[in-house]
Chain A
């Protein structure tokens, strides 16, 4: 019985958790970002939609700004994204560095 309760607690823990990939909000907008809130949200959507189909999504903290730039350049053709979409994804991924 105890183990069933532990298992249920674990499921509740999962359900209660926030996504590991942050959501841009007005309150945490950087002052020197090149994108506004709507563009950052669009960048998040494009990142999930175009990248999670082929590999696990990576957290922004896993790479530096320069590495993200290189990664996106490498992946642009495979993911079939335009330059404008790539820029929105980049701004979303690095906005916490700004």
Chain B
């Protein structure tokens, strides 16, 4: 019979779990995230990540990513089709350290750190991960803090801006047998910038499913933006659509190597 040990047993597309690969195990993951629905101008973006994951033993794993992000948006200054295109590439390195197990212990915990480099941006992302298995259900919570430095040289001058988004993520998955599950994922994103302080608090939530087999898994979610809980002069509306998407959806496909 097929015993589930596929691709790190990941079940969520956005929310992280505490599990890590064992010593010497390697996974390849392909992520694609579609983001669309800005106002007032048209916007559509697609981010792709190619990830190589490796277990280092002692409950530690590391990953290396190659990232590309492509976006297309309405731009009145463009005379031909009214659209501008942006393409970005970058690399990331991620570390995860599992402290306790979600099945054997009262709850699972892990620490996570990721560094991302792009030609015009540096990001550091720190996460605290909690998860808990209750019968055929898995609950996971992530609290994360990001520090971003963005370099803008578009108008002939080099300027640097920093921002520090804070996010709380929540996932619930109900296992339907050993190889698939259905659940929900939520994320509450808070933009906090050097210039304007706490700008908004945006809730995304939607359905999530996963399937896995021997040595592979796929997880998919669709997260519409539902509300802005912290309205300010920068983000006065109940949805923040000038800088965030109306709809975000992600597919993660993973293989054991």
Contacts and interface: CB of A to CB of B under 8 A. Distances in A.
Contacts of A21: 103-104
A76 to B, nearest CB: 12
A14 B104 contact: no
Interface in B21-77: 22-23, 25
Interface in B122-147: 130, 132-135, 139, 141, 143
Q: How large is the interface on A (under 10, 10 to 19, 20 to 34, 35 or more residues)?
A: 20 to 34
Interface in A1-50: 3, 7, 10-11, 14-21, 48
Interface in A53-74: 53-59, 61-62, 67, 70-71, 74
Contacts, number: 74
Q: How large is the interface on B (under 10, 10 to 19, 20 to 34, 35 or more residues)?
A: 20 to 34
A10 B139 CA distance: 10
A3 B43 CA distance: 31
What secondary structure prevails in chain B residues at the interface with A? loop
A20 B133 contact: yes
Contacts of B134: 17, 20
B105 A14 contact: no
Contacts of B102: 20, 56
Interface of B: 1, 3-5, 9, 19, 22-23, 25, 101-107, 130, 132-135, 139, 141, 143, 168, 170, 178, 188, 229
Interface of A: 3, 7, 10-11, 14-21, 48, 52-59, 61-62, 67, 70-71, 74-75
